[in-house]
Amino acid sequence: MSINWVMLDPSSPTAFTPLPHESTLYTSPPRTSLSLASLNKFPGKEPFAVTSSTGRVFLTNRRVIYIPAAPTTTQPGAQTQSFNSFAAPILNLHDTHVTTPFFGPNAWTALVQPVAGGNIPPQHAALKISLTFKDGGAYDFHTTYERVKERLQQAVDVARESGHIPESARGSSSLPGVNMDSVHLEDLPAYEETGASVPQPQPNAAAVGNPAHHTRPQDQQRLESEAASAAERREQDTFSPPAEPPPGYEEAQMSSVAAEVERRLSG
């Protein structure tokens, strides 16, 4: 993390000059505020605080950058200086999350580790940063940041396992042996079957082995018609309703009616 280390674009005070191979992945709406303050306020320990009510947040493949709409000054109690820009390497931000209050806009908060010579008093090992997105965009920023951080962390882990990072550099903001510019940050394309990989319908094994199954269209139509007629005949043979009642049906019906009448008269 550093204060006033970002090279501003002379043609626009709210734009910055990117580093070599640096590309911008996200730009916030203009009404985004920043609050940067020390964590502990022990007696005798000079606090540090920087605030800006309006500005833009830029997320690149290397840094998180904040440029206020107009330069501000640090709060009383800290070393007085003009605040023109803020920048932090992505891997120097920890415990990042979005807070959603009942009233008011969403905010993105994190703990940030200062870099050496970044205009931060050396007694502050970490500070709390809060970015309030008054016009929305907190979750978009957070989602993009987490994706970029995951890819960069993977590159660092691979370099460590390969022994490309010396022991003296571990835990520092500068990581020799890690080429951050070669990290692939774009999402992989969705899988789609191509014409070469789409399974083609296979011929019937019996048809391949038996030449008699190779029939002409006219013969095939005739065979289908005969099969349909045979199926219809089988259905008719299976069930045919009787044409007359079974023997003794009328006697049984009259006996049942007489028994019902006798029961009602006796009751």
Task: Write out pLDDT tens, residues 112-122.
Answer: 998 888 888 77
The average pLDDT across 23-38 equals: 94
Q: Is 229 within a domain?
A: no
Q: Is 128 within a domain?
A: yes
Checking if the pLDDT of 177 tops 60, the result is no
Q: Is 234 within a domain?
A: no
- In SS3 terms, 162-193 reads as CCCCCHHHCCCCCCCCCCHHHCCCCCCCCCCC
**What's the CATH number where 126 sits?**
2.30.29.30
Q: Is 216 within a domain?
A: no
- Predicted local distance difference test score (pLDDT) of residue 94: 94
| Structure confidence at residue 73 as a pLDDT band (50, 70, 90) | low
Q: Is 139 within a domain?
A: yes
Checking if the pLDDT of 208 tops 60, the result is no
- Predicted local distance difference test score (pLDDT) of residue 228: 75
How many distinct structural domains can be found in the chain? 1
Cα 43 to Cα 24, 125, 234, distances in angstroms:
41, 17, 101
Q: 152 Cβ partners below 8 Å, 6+ apart?
A: 90, 91, 180, 183
What are 119-146's pLDDT values in tens digits?
Answer: 887 788 889 999 999 999 999 999 999 9
Q: Is 213 within a domain?
A: no
**What's the domain range around 122?**
2-182
Q: What is the pTM of this model?
A: 0.63
Interatomic CA distance for residues 34 and 158, integer angstroms: 34
Percentage of the chain modeled with pLDDT above 90:
32
Sign, CA torsion 218/224/229/230 = positive
Q: Is 259 within a domain?
A: no
Cα end-to-end span (Å), the chain? 104
Q: Is 154 within a domain?
A: yes
